[in-house]
């Protein structure tokens, strides 16, 4: 039996502010296979974004074990973590996180610039990524000249330009209308069909149904882990309508 791509064992995360301790994650056990599409749901403040930051090696747990591709993350050097983030992980954020003084082209090119890739190859990959999200006609524009939906599509292009094996999306439709939200979800599904492992934080049950499996969190812990048919039933029973 092969090891899961992502394997968390008893993961905790505690934030300290003065004398106050905040337990963001409390003993999380989780396994995600290669090529899975997983949504992570739960109320605000339940630890979803903290979990995603740890999965993407942007943060480290206080205790517990995180194996990525059967390799203990705790043993990785800072250089090795940065290399994995740059070459294997694509991030999509709710707030887009585009660099305001860079053009659309330059924003998407940014992660490739750290790879020592030849300029011609970078240009080809950037144009291909922008074409895929329907933004190739905006290469010279700046983020402030784009709508929210357009900015998110550029952010998606930046996340996928390096052909990551893992895509981590934190409320990728949170600032979008339903039309743009569905467009982003359709692209996520395409990436998954091509082999990418998707982990998406969402509070919206309309988009959770795109995943193969839904993990529900509450107070920093995983309280339910359901494959799609059972997740759909749970969503219906919650009073939301699936579309």
Tens of pLDDT, residue by residue over 92-137, are: 988 889 999 999 999 999 999 888 889 999 999 999 999 999 899 9
Can you tell me the mean pLDDT for 186-195?
92
Q: State how far the alpha carbon of 151 is from the alpha carbons of 34, 35, 52, 112, 221, in Å.
A: 29, 27, 21, 19, 32
Can you tell me the mean pLDDT for 181-201?
92
pLDDT-based confidence at residue 242 (cuts at 50, 70, 90): very low
CATH 3.40.50.300 fits 35-62+78-237, yes or no: yes
Per-residue pLDDT tens over the stretch 145-189: 999 889 999 999 999 999 999 999 999 888 888 888 888 899 899
Can you tell me the mean pLDDT for 71-98?
92
Please report the pLDDT score of residue 231 as a whole number. 47
Q: State how far the alpha carbon of 96 is from the alpha carbons of 66, 195, 216, in Å.
A: 27, 24, 24
To 10 degrees, what angle do helices 178-193 and 148-160 make? 10
Residue 240 has pLDDT above 50, yes or no: no
- Rounded distance between C-alpha atoms, residue 213 and residue 229, angstroms: 9
Read off the pTM: 0.87
Q: How many CB atoms lie within 10 A of CB 136?
A: 16
Please report the pLDDT score of residue 163 as a whole number. 93
Please report the pLDDT score of residue 229 as a whole number. 53
Please report the pLDDT score of residue 209 as a whole number. 83
Please report the pLDDT score of residue 227 as a whole number. 83
Please report the pLDDT score of residue 1 as a whole number. 59
């Amino acid at each position: 039996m092969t090891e899961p791509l992502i394997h968390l064992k008893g993961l905790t995360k505690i934030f300290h502010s003065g004398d106050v301790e905040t337990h963001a994650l409390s003993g999380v056990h989780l396994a995600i296979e290669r090529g899975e599409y997983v949504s992570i749901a739960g109320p605000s403040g339940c630890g979803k974004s903290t979990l995603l930051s740890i999965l993407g090696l942007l943060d480290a747990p206080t205790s517990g074990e995180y194996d990525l591709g059967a390799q203990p993350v705790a043993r990785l050097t800072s250089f090795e973590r940065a290399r994995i983030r740059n070459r294997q992980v694509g991030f999509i954020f709710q707030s887009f996180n585009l660099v305001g003084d860079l053009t659309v082209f330059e924003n998407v090119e940014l992660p490739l610039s750290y790879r020592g890739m030849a300029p011609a190859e970078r240009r080809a990959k950037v144009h291909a990524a922008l074409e895929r999200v329907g933004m190739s006609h905006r290469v010279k524009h700046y983020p402030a000249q784009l709508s929210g939906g357009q900015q998110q599509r550029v952010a998606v292009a930046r996340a996928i330009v390096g052909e990551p094996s893992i895509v981590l999306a934190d409320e990728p439709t949170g600032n979008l209308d339903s039309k743009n939200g569905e467009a982003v979800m359709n692209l996520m599904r395409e990436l998954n069909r091509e082999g990418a492992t998707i982990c998406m934080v969402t509070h919206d049950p309309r988009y959770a149904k795109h995943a193969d499996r839904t993990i529900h969190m509450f107070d920093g812990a995983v309280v339910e882990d359901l494959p799609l048919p059972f997740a759909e039933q749970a969503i219906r029973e919650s009073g939301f309508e699936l579309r």
